[in-house]
A = this chain, B = another copy of it.
């Protein structure tokens, strides 16, 4: 019987192993110098932080610990966004509150210390983020720990930070009870076949449903729109997802947020009995 932290580690592994997931590292594809093995090492390194998430200490510290452990490999940022979702999800599962309401409460109760942990996590790894608006400059996440005095002076919690992160699909989940994660978890449970294949299908549905913020930040809005439309074409049987996976990897179109959401959904599905 796996603990919530162990299921979270398994969700990280199942997510990256699912194929085809157009544009992402998967069981069949690397991404230049970002390789499958870096995700394996990232999952190994994340566990200590995920176990903290299952405890009673600050979520921000759990997140920072998980990111620090995840980053102990040479590929760079592998699972930052996954961990941002998994930390409150693990906390909810560990306290028998793995529901939208439970997540809303856990996230609403986040503190300034949690926000500080979130900012400190950026010191451990380079995360691709969009330029913040000018009035948010002193809260640019790339400032890392330097932003902590500002957070404290203004009393900004992690929930506040997420609420200000417009256009970020992970932040949108964070502040609204994880609606897409819970819905896809049920779809995964209702699906059949190997868990990795269910995860790959969930990825396509999530990508077709909403433009990926990471693609928008790294490849621009036209690519984000295209990725959404072509994922829909895969679901409609008009495109071959294997061919699309090859093309997106080649063009560097990398729907990272969608992978994060897939990971979150796999975790909830595992907690609810997804057989592996």
Q: Would you call B41 and A10 a contact (CB within 8 A)?
A: yes
Q: Which residue of B lies closest to A73 (CB)?
A: B276
CB distance from A272 to the nearest CB of B (A): 16
Known: A9-B44, A10-B44, A28-B27. A37 touches B195 (CB 8 A): yes
CB distance from A152 to the nearest CB of B (A): 30
Give the size category of A's interface with B.
20 to 34
Q: Would you call A275 and B74 a contact (CB within 8 A)?
A: yes
| Neighbour of A36 across the interface among B27, B35, B41, CB < 8 A | B27
- A40 at interface, CB cutoff 8 A: yes
- A79 at interface, CB cutoff 8 A: no
Interface on chain A toward B: helix, strand, loop, or mixed SS?
A: helix
- A88 at interface, CB cutoff 8 A: no
- A259 at interface, CB cutoff 8 A: no
In whole angstroms, what is the CA distance A9 to B276 when docked? Answer: 18
Q: Which residue of B lies closest to A43 (CB)?
A: B13
Q: Which residue of B lies closest to A38 (CB)?
A: B276
In whole angstroms, what is the CA distance A202 to B36 when docked? Answer: 19
- Chain B positions within 8 Å of A74 at CB level: 275-276
Q: Would you call A196 and B36 a contact (CB within 8 A)?
A: yes
User: A34-78: contact bitstring with B at CB < 8 Å (1 yes, 0 no)?
Assistant: 011110110111010000000000000000000000001110000
- A158 at interface, CB cutoff 8 A: no
Known: A73-B276, A74-B276, A276-B74. A40 touches B10 (CB 8 A): yes
- Chain B positions within 8 Å of A9 at CB level: 44
- A17 at interface, CB cutoff 8 A: yes
Within 8 A of B (CB), among A108-153: none
Given A13-B40, A13-B43, 8 extra CB contacts under 8 A? A2-B45, A6-B45, A14-B37, A14-B40, A17-B36, A17-B37, A27-B27, A27-B28
Closest 3 CB pairs of A and B: A13-B40, A41-B276, A10-B44
A-B contacts, 22 listed (Cβ < 8 Å): A2-B45, A6-B44, A6-B45, A9-B44, A10-B44, A13-B13, A13-B44, A14-B37, A17-B36, A17-B37, A17-B40, A27-B27, A27-B28, A27-B36, A28-B28, A35-B196, A37-B194, A37-B195, A37-B276, A73-B276, A74-B275, A74-B276
